[in-house]
Amino acid sequence: MKLTPYWLDTATPSGDHRQNPVPERADIAIVGAGFTGLSAALEAAKNGASVVVLDQHTVGWGASGRNGGMATTGLAIGLGKAIKRYGRDRAIEMFAEYNRAIDTIEDLIKENSIDCDFERSGKLSLAMNAKQVDGMRKTQQILADAADYSVRVVGKEDLHTEIGSDFYAGGMVDPLGAGMHVGKFAHGLAGAGTRAGVTICEDAAVTELADRAGGGHTVHTSRGTTQVDQVLIATSGYTGSVTPWLRRRTIPVGSFIVVTEPLPQETVDRILPNRRMAADSKMLTYYFRITPDNRLLFGGRARFALSSPDSDLKSAEILKDAMSTVFPYLSSTRIDYTWGGLVDLSMDRMVHAGQHKGIHYSLGYSGHGVQMAAYMGKQIALSMVGKPSRNAWENLPYRAVPGHFGPPWFLPFIGGGAKIIDRFNS
């Protein structure tokens, strides 16, 4: 079993950027070579800016190369909760933003000829009980009435047309959700950026940001210093001590994945006949999909711990059991890959993008960043180069996590609460 992400193991790297010298000067420095940073870099370079992307590891090393590869519709908090918090019109506008984000990915792929198995196979949300199915019917009605948007609710009796499992009580299909190979997408964005003139510096940890007298910033890295006019922080769940204001607002939660051996076509057709991107409604969600080469990718917040080789292996055991509970006929299927990564939760589970003390940032994707990170990267870059841009999350209060100044000591407590709620709902 490999402990590397399947996506990075099966993608051709865009190049070796570990030796690229850190330039003495650039218009824009971007910290983080994930979807946010890479799509921002591409957009800024296409608009004439000189851009350097700095990553402490390699392209796609963070959550962007470690996720489920699901570019799906819908807010992290769900539409019902968003309406209660923000009112119907704003909530619908926020919901629509996720669809725009998927369209943006599709456009980026086409415009830059990125071969990454993008497919609009649809999203399947799965309910644990009849009450959750009723909630899906209400969501369906609101979407139809307020946004003229069509989703389909599938009752228990028909659920086998969508999933080969008796574990769930019903589901909801949104046909606009998409899946892709995120390793190929990350490297495709990096390649397009490089062709547009972006300098990518891997193995270049940013160690300090300092304001320059007269404007601009000095960015200190483990491989040299660069003077820039503007900085974008695109570090999601890996946000650290260089930006303490952002770290206080980011809850890094470990999420873990196992990927099986390649499966026979008839097994794939039984698991998810329509190859949708599936996720259930538990607090400790299971999410799963078929990979382009017919493996089952099965993920979840198996443990409330951070990712490490030891933690990833323990999580693999838990996830294999979970996979066998949902799909009993896979109990003797071999696991070829396991890994973990950090999800960047915000207190309100909403995206936060803006400026703090002259430094730009976009993070808080709360587990829904495959589409949103690439989209917001582009939007933030447009605003940085002085072009019209969209930011549906502007002016949302960005609250700090009380008592959070370093490693997230509070995760086991959140995990315990979530497990109790799931037991209650099952």
Point out which residues bind ligand FAD (CB under 6 A).
31-37, 54-57, 61-64, 66-70, 205-206, 234-238, 240, 242, 255, 257, 299, 341-343, 363, 365, 367-371, 373
- Contacts of residue 423, defined as CB under 8 A and 6 or more positions apart, other chains included, come to none
- To the nearest whole angstrom, how small is the minimum distance from the Cβ of residue 239 to ligand FAD? 6
Q: Smaller CB distance to ligand FAD: residue 129 or 389?
A: 389
Which of residues 146 and 306 has its CB atom nearest to ligand FAD in the complex? 306
Of the two residues 214 and 271, which places its CB atom closer to ligand FAD in the complex? Answer: 271
User: At closest approach, how far in Å is the CB of 389 from ligand FAD?
Assistant: 17
Q: How far is the CB of 181 from ligand FAD (least distance, A)?
A: 12
Nearest residue to ligand FAD, using CB?
Answer: 369
Least distance (Å) between residue 145 CB and ligand FAD: 26
| Nearest-approach distance from CB 219 to ligand FAD, in angstroms | 9
Q: Measured from the CB atom, is 282 or 368 closer to ligand FAD?
A: 368
With CA atoms as reference, report the closest residue to 116 among 2, 264, 7.
7
Q: Which is nearer to ligand FAD, 327 or 375 (CB)?
A: 375
Any residues with CB less than 8 A from the CB of 141 and at least 6 apart, and which? none
Toward ligand FAD, which CB reaches closer, 87 or 358? 358
CB of 22 to ligand FAD, least distance (A): 11
Between 236 and 379, whose beta carbon lies closer to ligand FAD?
A: 236
CB of 365 to ligand FAD, least distance (A): 4
Smallest separation (angstroms) from ligand FAD to the CB of 131: 25
Residue that has been written with the tokens 């069509």 in this structure = 150
Q: Which is nearer to ligand FAD, 244 or 328 (CB)?
A: 244
CB nearer ligand FAD, residue 112 or residue 129: 112
CB of 362 to ligand FAD, least distance (A): 7
